[in-house]
Homo-oligomer: A and B are copies of this chain.
Amino acid sequence: MNLSALRQDFILHFGEMGSRWGINRTVGQVYALLFLADDPLCADDIVAALGFSRSNVSMALKELQSWNLVRLRHKTDDRREFFTTPDDLWEIVRTLIDQRRKREIDPTLTKLRELSMTTPDAADAAAHARIAELRELIEQMTRFHDDLARFETERLVALLNMGAKLGRLVDGAGRLIPIRRTKT
């Protein structure tokens, strides 16, 4: 398979960015290829398009599945596995945020809770307090994320578009500005 300049450019960029995003080049390129593909692709399609070894592609697909970033599809009378990315970009964003939280934040929160439980000696009092403060901040942010994660996409997008207007709900000291709802 030979790729258009547009696809090549996009795919190479994702390969290069991979390391910054916590995935490797192969995984980045495979994802980019699937993201732009007009139809589901099987592992050998990916090998043909990108030139990685079959086993490397297999690993990359496994990794993408563990991130929940690709969907497995089957065609009738074909036992190969085909892969796609979700059409809905917001679904992809939600998945990315969920997964990064799970990998980058949750283990630290667990550790901070564990450390918060201990009783520090005098020399560690300030450090212990700082750990507790960090734990509380992360708990606050994850609670907020849990709240937002329950919203429908439309509601989320609407809030996003409000942007700076959201600031009018509270004053600079963080006090809620009382509002009264009119009938809709």
Q: How many residues of A contact B (CB 8 A)?
A: 71
For A155, give its contact among B115, B126, B157, B174 (CB under 8 Å): B174
Decide if A35 is an interface residue (CB 8 Å cutoff).
yes
Decide if A7 is an interface residue (CB 8 Å cutoff).
yes
Q: Are A36 and B127 in contact (CB under 8 A)?
A: yes
Q: Whole-angstrom distance between the alpha carbons of A127 and B119 in the complex?
A: 57
Q: Are A147 and B164 in contact (CB under 8 A)?
A: yes
Q: Are A108 and B17 in contact (CB under 8 A)?
A: yes
The segment from A46-54, A56-64, A73-81, A135-143 that touches chain B is A135-143
Decide if A170 is an interface residue (CB 8 Å cutoff).
yes
Chain B residues with CB under 8 A of A143: 163
Which residue of chain B is the closest to A110 with respect to CB atoms? B13
Decide if A161 is an interface residue (CB 8 Å cutoff).
yes
Q: Are B155 and A172 in contact (CB under 8 A)?
A: yes
Q: Are B180 and A103 in contact (CB under 8 A)?
A: no
Q: Are A147 and B163 in contact (CB under 8 A)?
A: yes
Contacts known (A6-B118, A115-B9, A181-B177); A159 close to B169, Cβ less than 8 A: yes
Decide if A158 is an interface residue (CB 8 Å cutoff).
yes
- Further contacts, 4 of them, CB under 8 A, given A10-B131, A151-B167, A171-B184: A4-B120, A20-B104, A93-B141, A162-B170
Closest 3 CB pairs of A and B: A154-B174, A147-B163, A158-B174
